[in-house]
Amino acid sequence: MAVPTPRLDELQKAAEKCGLQTEVVPDVKHPHAPWQKTGLIFVPKSASKMQIIRRVAKELSNIRAQNRI
């Protein structure tokens, strides 16, 4: 279910398709790459972290598959 280099807008769209409310912070930098503004997304904890990640990852894979067609 891994998707290489997911974009912030793709993650937001996938999370919203899973029924999660999102809060996007676009100008946040990752500590290991402070020169890149990767951003982050907050979602409410409606299930375990792994369940949310798996649901969003599955939806993200579906989004990528539709874009290839």
Please state the pTM of the whole predicted model.
0.85
Q: What is the pLDDT of residue 2?
A: 77
Contact 60, 3 (CB under 8 A): yes
Backbone angles phi, psi at 19, to 5 degrees: 85, 15
Is the per-residue pLDDT at 1 higher than 90?
no
- Residue spans of the domains in the chain: they are 8-68
CATH, domain range 8-68: 3.30.56.30
Contact 61, 53 (CB under 8 A): no
- DSSP letter at 5 equals S
Task: Write the pLDDT tens digit of every residue in 3-55.
Answer: 888 999 999 999 999 999 999 999 999 899 999 989 999 999 999 999 999 99
Is the per-residue pLDDT at 56 higher than 70?
yes
Contact 8, 24 (CB under 8 A): yes
Contact 13, 1 (CB under 8 A): no
